[in-house]
């Protein structure tokens, strides 16, 4: 019998699983998947986790990273 872990409560409310694939994050951010891999290599993108040999992203960390990107003061 396969085990189905329950997603976190905040992820259920948002209508998405607690961990995202690079493809899902790329669609969400509107960038190519290759860009996510380049950002990971340069350590400038959202934090990614290795689950076995696969990359996964926590939605909360993706949203926090995105918020930090828009926090720059552009009036200088």
Whether pTM > 0.75 for this model: the answer is no
pLDDT at 70: 80
pLDDT at 48: 96
Cα–Cα distance, 33 to 24 (Å, whole number): 9
Q: What percent of the chain has pLDDT over 70?
A: 71
In this structure, of 5-9, 13-17, 39-43, 55-59, the range with the lowest mean pLDDT score is: 5-9
Q: What sign for the dihedral angle of Cα 56, 58, 61, 65? A: positive
pLDDT at 39: 96
Whether residue 26 has pLDDT greater than 90: yes
Q: What is the mean pLDDT of residues 4-13?
A: 51
């Amino acid at each position: 019998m396969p085990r189905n872990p329950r997603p976190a409560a905040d992820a259920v409310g948002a209508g998405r699983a607690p961990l995202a694939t690079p493809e899902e994050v790329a669609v969400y951010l509107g960038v190519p998947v290759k860009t996510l891999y380049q950002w990971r290599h340069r350590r400038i993108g959202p934090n990614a986790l290795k689950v076995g040999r696969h990359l996964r992203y926590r939605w909360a960390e993706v949203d926090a990273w995105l918020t930090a990107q828009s926090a720059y003061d552009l009036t200088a």
